[in-house]
Amino acid sequence: MITKDLIIQHGLTDEEYGKIASILGREPNLTELGMFSVMWSEHCSYKSSRAFLKKLPTEGPQVVQGPGENAGVVDIGDGLVAVFKMESHNHPSFIEPYQGAATGVGGILRDIFTMGARPIALLDSLRFGPLDNPKNRYLFGGVVSGIAGYGNCMGVPTVGGEVYFNEIYNHNPLVNVFCLGIARKDQIFRGRAAGVGNPVLYIGSKTGRDGIHGATMASDAFDEGSESKRPTVQVGDPFTEKLLLEACLELMEKDFLVGIQDMGAAGLTSSSCEMASRAGTGIELELAEVPRREQGMTPYEVLLSESQERMLLVAKPGREGEVLEICKKWDVYAAVIGRVMGDGLLRVKEKGAVVAEVPARALVDDAPKYERPAAAPPYQDHLQSLPLELIPEPRDCNAVFAALLASPTIAHKGWVFEQYDHMVQINTLIRPGSDAAVLRIKGTDKALAVTADCNSLYCVLNPYVGAGIAVAEAARNLVCAGARPLALTDCLNFGNPERPDIMWQFILAVEGIADACKALKIPVVSGNVSFYNETRRLSIYPTPVIGMVGLVDHADRAVSQGFKAEGDAIVLLGETGEDLGGTEYLKTIHHREQGMPPMLNLDREVALQAVVLEAIEQGLVRSAHDCAEGGLAVALAECCLSAPAGPMGAEIVLGAQGLRRDSVLFGESQSRIILSVKPGDLERIKALAQKAEVPLSVLGFAGGKRLTVSIRDEHGRAAIEIDRPCQELAIIWRGALRSALESPLEVEGRHA
Amino acid sequence: MARSSLRIGILVFPGSNCDRDCHHAVTAIMSAAAEFVWHKEASLPPLDAVIIPGGFSYGDYLRTGAIARFSPVMAAVTRFAESGGLVLGICNGFQILLEAGLLPGAMLRNRSLSFICRDTHVRIENTETPFTGRCKPGQVLTLPIAHAEGNYYADPATLSSLKAKNQIVFRYCTPEGKVTPEANPNGSLDNIAGIVNTTGNVLGMMPHPERCAEALLGNEDGRLILLSLLDSLKSGRFSPKPAMVS
């Protein structure tokens, strides 16, 4: 008997329950209610976002598989494809940081090797509250070790990502994980249960009671009792996943499979109904055959368990014996648990008795779709106002500069990425810490570049512009490495979509992504939406993280951000404006998170990226670096401090152009890239820029042991604003994150 | 007599993850034939050398290498080593060699208690091994490490014996070649990064030579180790005595 309480406990509305009953033509039983509850959860059904995601461009000549599968696929030539996706694991990571992050990595890896691809790289996009709070240190440390524990064991290098700190993430950190794999184009697998009568196999870890209703948890906001939800977080076992990976790739190589899907959120339920739904078939399962680690599990528990490291396979007829044999070789549990049916139903039996019978398509496609009300929040005007006359210009730019380099968001992230094996598989040509990581593709001359980007402060100030900048910056980062952007995956982290202000943010952000994608001709091939990132009605900043993949045609021409040689000319492409709104400078020095984010002119962005790519392809560029948080001054410091043979100085003169000094040094105007070039190549770069009408200025020359930055006023008088030994800057920048983690704690509860 | 085609076996345990990297190094850098050897094999095929690659054998949920040493293949590797065959254990391979008793000492968790992946500098302490013939005494190589348990430990008697018998092959050092506490990434005893057995045919090292053996990767120092091994095999002086292998 389904009571009103049960319906509420399952996170369903009365209308949704009514729809379930009308689909079935009867009341559901408890097992069926559980299945609908997870499949129709926001996490699985995208019920609040689907209508808007349609605006994203998903097509292009390079696209082999767009959104809707386990991961997106793009053609990279030589008969190969790149397979990639990004997903969030925010809620579990807040409840249990190590396991939450670890299983996030495990899940995204399975999404990639499910498609027949060997994973070659991971990225993580992380956001936490400030590190002077002990809880945040615990979460940050736990998440980083969880990622390391899982990814390192799997032998997949974690080559980059991003880490931001902001109080808004105090009670809702974000953990987004991205994975890239490579497959042969003629050997891509999809999650399809095709071929009536084909055997359905379960392989991987045994099923336990862990993670039941994880998807439902991820579809709700946090409250004081959230930590009691720890049992809904799964425990990861990377060793089993490694065996599962090798077993799956061997099965695919042997051509025994029709379809395959990871059991992720909503476990056996989602994998079976999604595979059937995609193929227009049904599946009959016998739960008694499911390998279990606990006695006395009910059908409800078996169907909804989110135990990790499990896959559902549909084998070619008569091949189940060979599948079981390969699984045995790899010590992976495997069992035939059902078969493909022609009736479109997901029929679940327990020892022969039917315990659930639901149209597969109803679970997947008939979830309600909401176009929830959206409205700009009343606080938006206040957020966007920035009376610059109230912001004093810094007296000591050297001190401001040092403070910015020490800001944990800007500081060198070695403390994080040195805990990740970022070299295994020996493809990593450009390691973490540059604009994009670059991985060679063995057996070809090519390489792939990957990056993950989002400035969520920009996004809260103007979701449309902020999201567009996330796309533009990701593309710019790839271009700086010498890669042509191919496609992107997005991970859209937002608050509660039932709030009109959150829906307003979401809709604008999606439009911002769509328009930037169209201008830059970069399709979206996969993605993930994570709503309900809020605790006690305090929502996170809208955080649409963009993971992007680009192709480097000649691996040996990939470029990194560090200056390479004394005497090289330093050139800025793009223009600096009065862009202080939403900057790290304003936040760190003036404690203001307001203003309009920097303007994004997509035409200029396209032209800039084309020039830089052309210059790199012509071999004219020794280093390239995007200007992001902290502006020109910080970008220049990063070029100096990332020099391969140790810090290299530079002498720089910037034109004031009627701007405030802080705007010149620390403003975050978009569409700017710093290049270093051999002096002899300067004229050729100038010609390229002029032809494309991209502004170019020569800022100075690399060399020496100090970074000196002067500003020249309209009368031609130059005044030194920044002058520090690089060795000193290196200590600040490289040591800041560790210092922040080891500094004495302030009074507890300040951020509570 | 050197054979025309050298065959190097690469052990594959469940959880090995540098096996394919070593395969690449053997074929692309050493131009030798590489052959994966499954952990369940009780005997080795005819091989000229064995590489035990890095990774997390059996998940390393217990002490690193503690389970792998019981794999059937390790008994065969032990016989191979006893017969004089060359065995190179890298990272987890080094840990397994310690657990299997083919090398003395043990691994503790890194001093920082966390995984460390970065370039280190190591000084060549012994050029008289089959793995370091191309190096100069005191030469400093840049080699990457990637491990959570590389903090080598041995009791004082073992350490003295290692020193007396010149078994310490690599020590972590500064870029200038000074062996200092600051240059020690993981707390390893006496900055030890790699050792050989008393007969010199079994080397365990924490740094990864296979990760830095190509110009494209920005560092070719690892070639010195791989090509020294190749020279030794070609010299024929280190062929395993067949009677003892089977």
Residue B153: is its pLDDT beyond 60? yes
- Using 50, 70 and 90 to split pLDDT, how confident is the model at A401? very high
Mean pLDDT of the region B59-76:
93
Catalytic residue among B18, B173, B210, B212: B210
Pairing, β A673-677 against β A623-626: antiparallel
* pLDDT mean across residues, chain A: 94
Residue B246: is its pLDDT beyond 50? no
- Chain A touched by B53 (CB under 8 Å): no
Q: Which residue of A has its CA nearest to B148?
A: A419
A524 and A56 Cβ atoms separated by less than 8 Å: yes
User: Which residue from A290, A277, A256, A252 is spatially nearest to A341, judged by alpha carbons?
Assistant: A277
- Using 50, 70 and 90 to split pLDDT, how confident is the model at B241? confident
Residue A752: is its pLDDT beyond 50? no
Q: Which residues of A are catalytic?
A: 43, 89
Burial A9-28 (b: 16+ CB within 10 A, else e): ebbbeeebbebbeebbeeeb
Q: What is the pLDDT of residues A85-102, one digit of tens each?
A: 999 999 999 999 999 999
- Using 50, 70 and 90 to split pLDDT, how confident is the model at B203? very high
Q: Which residue of B has its CA nearest to A238?
A: B59
| pLDDT the model gives residue B238 | 85
Q: Give dist(CA A134, CA A140) in Å, integer.
A: 10
User: Which residues, at least 6 apart from B215, have a Cβ–Cβ distance to it below 8 Å?
Assistant: none
Residue numbers in A near B216 (CB within 8 A): 429, 440, 555-556
Residue A747: is its pLDDT beyond 70? no
- Using 50, 70 and 90 to split pLDDT, how confident is the model at A234? confident
Question: How many other CB atoms are found less than 10 A from the CB of residue B72?
Answer: 12
Q: What is the pLDDT of residues A135-164, one digit of tens each?
A: 999 999 999 999 999 999 999 999 999 999
Mean pLDDT of the region A388-415:
96
Single-letter code of the amino acid located at A565: A
Q: What is the pLDDT of residues A423-446, one digit of tens each?
A: 999 999 999 999 999 999 999 999
pTM: 0.95
Q: Give dist(CA A616, CA A673) in Å, integer.
A: 13
User: Which residue from B214, B26, B120, B25 is spatially nearest to A429, judged by alpha carbons?
Assistant: B214
- Chain A touched by B20 (CB under 8 Å): yes
Sequence ranges of the domains in chain B: 7-244
* pLDDT mean across residues, chain B: 95
Percentage of chain A modeled with pLDDT above 70: 96
Q: Give dist(CA A73, CA A200) in Å, integer.
A: 25
Q: What is the pLDDT of residues A444-467, one digit of tens each?
A: 999 999 999 999 999 999 999 999
B208 is catalytic: yes
Least confident among A220-229, A507-516, A681-690, A697-706: A220-229
- Among A426, A440, A444, A737, which would you mutate to test the B interface (most chain B Cβ atoms within 10 Å of its Cβ)? A426
- Chain B touched by A442 (CB under 8 Å): yes
| pLDDT the model gives residue B1 | 40
Residue A227: is its pLDDT beyond 80? no
Question: How many other CB atoms are found less than 10 A from the CB of residue A394?
Answer: 20
Q: How many residues does chain A have?
A: 752
Q: What is the pLDDT of residues A667-720, one digit of tens each?
A: 999 999 999 999 999 999 999 999 999 999 999 999 999 999 999 998 989 999
- Using 50, 70 and 90 to split pLDDT, how confident is the model at A536? confident
Q: Which residue of B has its CA nearest to A554?
A: B216
Between chains, do B114 and A440 touch, taking CB under 8 Å as contact? no
Residue numbers in A near B148 (CB within 8 A): 152
Residue numbers in B near A148 (CB within 8 A): 114-115
| pLDDT the model gives residue A750 | 45
Between chains, do A442 and B118 touch, taking CB under 8 Å as contact? no
CATH number for the domain running over B7-244: 3.40.50.880
